[in-house]
Amino acid sequence: MSTCKIASGLAVVLVTISAPSFGQPPENRDGIPDTPGTGPFTPLKEIDPGLSDQVVYRPADLAALGTAKLGVYVFGNGGCSNDGASARLHLLNVASHGYLAIAPGGIYNGPGKTEAPPRPADASIASYAPTRPAQLKAAIDWALAENERRGSRYYGRIDPAQIAISGFSCGGIQALTIAADPRVKTVVIMNSGLFVEGETRMGGMVETKSRIKDLHTPTLYVLGGPTDIAYANGMHDYETIDHVPIAVANIDKGHGGTYWEPNGGAAAEVVIDWLAWQLRGDAEASRAFVGQNCGLCRDPQWEYRSKGL
């Protein structure tokens, strides 16, 4: 075990430059422009007719990939909301590094915004959720089917061995709910975790701590420090997990994280390094997480711990 604690029809939008009880997005989010990511590919977000209830983020010019293959990063929204643009800066950045990032719902804020459908009048407050874990699985199904479908823009462009699931807050619980899927190669849980005691009830899900036994891949938790409402839950998950390699990175941003900072902020960069290491075997990216002088160990804005890496 290593521990490092540091003090202190296609609807397309090309990039040119939440949860009600789990972290409010900024009030002016409609006015926040999309950002271009830090990767080599200009990203876009779109609604693909073949997956009309989800938002797809991808490199705008797929031909620019050359022989490189797209990884798949499926993301559950904060609050299990149906705003697939609620983490758009984060997801655009991931896409800019050569990934197909997918979030359930529509584009309900920012550039390309459309109006969200009203909540059903007969929806139960206790059980209603605009999105469900099954949609994360459906996104994987769709991506892999498109990889095999002749005539698809993604035909032969996706690597089935590069599949990650992730999510923010309630969306993180969605990711844990489908973590047993054998196609998944790594899991990233953001500002989330199962309740320390009793059942975790949110977004129509009822889970217990036993769900973490479904993890079968290296797993990263990204949390917002002690002021994050999910901090105790996520840290308890980390301490409890002992059967897969596990890491937890905390940045003192609270539950809102860095999603609305340009390119998704520092948390997005950590996730991108993790994906590069876990899905692509990138040795340079691994240095952010392993070794006594690892990048997160030396970065004063992060508190980092790992087991089994």
Q: Residue 24 maps to which CATH number?
A: 3.40.50.1820
Both tokens assigned to 300: 């004063």
pLDDT given at position 158: 98
Q: Angle, nearest 10°, between helix axes 133-148 and 170-177?
A: 60
What is the model's pLDDT at position 19?
A: 35
For residue 138, report the phi and psi dihedrals to the nearest 5 degrees: -60, -35
Q: Would you say residue 13 lies in a domain?
A: yes
What integer pLDDT is reported at residue 28 of this predicted model? Answer: 85
**What domain range includes position 209?**
9-118+125-266
Q: What is the pLDDT of residues 109-136, one digit of tens each?
A: 999 999 998 887 766 655 678 999 999 9
Whether residue 171 is contained in a domain is answered as yes
Distance CA 205, CA 207 (A): 6
Q: How far is residue 160's CA from residue 71's CA, in Å, rounded to a whole number?
A: 8
Question: Mapping DSSP to helix (H, G, I), strand (E, B) and coil, where does residue 121 land?
Answer: coil
Residue type present at position 26: P
In a domain, 144, yes or no: yes
What is the structure's pLDDT at 123?
A: 64
Total number of domains constituting the chain: 1
In a domain, 225, yes or no: yes
Assigned domain for 22 exists: yes
Check residue 121 and give its pLDDT. Answer: 72
Residues near 31 by Cβ (< 8 Å), separated by ≥ 6? none
Q: Which residues of the chain have pLDDT under 50?
A: 1-23
Examine residue 191 and state whether it is found in any structural domain, yes or no: yes
* H helix count then E strand count, the chain: 7, 13
188 lies in some domain = yes
